[in-house]
Amino acid sequence: MSADDAISARKKAQAIAEERKHPARWWFLSFATDYEFLGAAILRAFGEVTAVERATELGINPLTAPAVDPSGSLLRRAGTEV
């Protein structure tokens, strides 16, 4: 594991720990490329990182970085509203 991978893993672990301080809630994940819609999912998670992890565990994450928003708004990967 490279130093960058170790830092990334540490940041992810910190984000998960922070998310788990809050109650689980429903999250809407929208999967899309720049050219097509790939699907969507509604699942229960503690936050953005745990929602993406849960989708991956369930085998419904066709991307590594889906657009996520707990309010139901579609987001671009950069985080700006569409």
Give the pLDDT band (50/70/90) at residue 13: confident
Residue 63 CA to residue 75 CA, distance in Å, equals 14
- What's the mean per-residue pLDDT of the chain? 76
Residues 55-77 have a mean pLDDT of: 61
Q: Is residue 75 in a domain? A: no
Q: What share of the chain is helix, strand, coil (3-state, %, to 5)?
A: 35, 25, 40
In the prediction, which pLDDT does 67 show? 53
| CA-closest candidate to residue 31, choices 57, 71, 65, 72 | 65
Number of domains into which the chain is organized: 1
- For the record, the structure tokens of 39 come out as 């699907």
Q: Is the pLDDT of residue 2 over 80?
A: no
Structural domain that includes position 38:
3-69
Q: Is residue 14 in a domain? A: yes
Q: Is residue 17 in a domain? A: yes
In the prediction, which pLDDT does 8 show? 80
Q: Is residue 44 in a domain? A: yes
Q: Is residue 77 in a domain? A: no
Q: Is residue 59 in a domain? A: yes
The DSSP element (H or E) to which 26 belongs, if any, is: strand 25-32
Q: Is residue 78 in a domain? A: no
Q: Is residue 82 in a domain? A: no
The DSSP element (H or E) to which 9 belongs, if any, is: helix 3-19
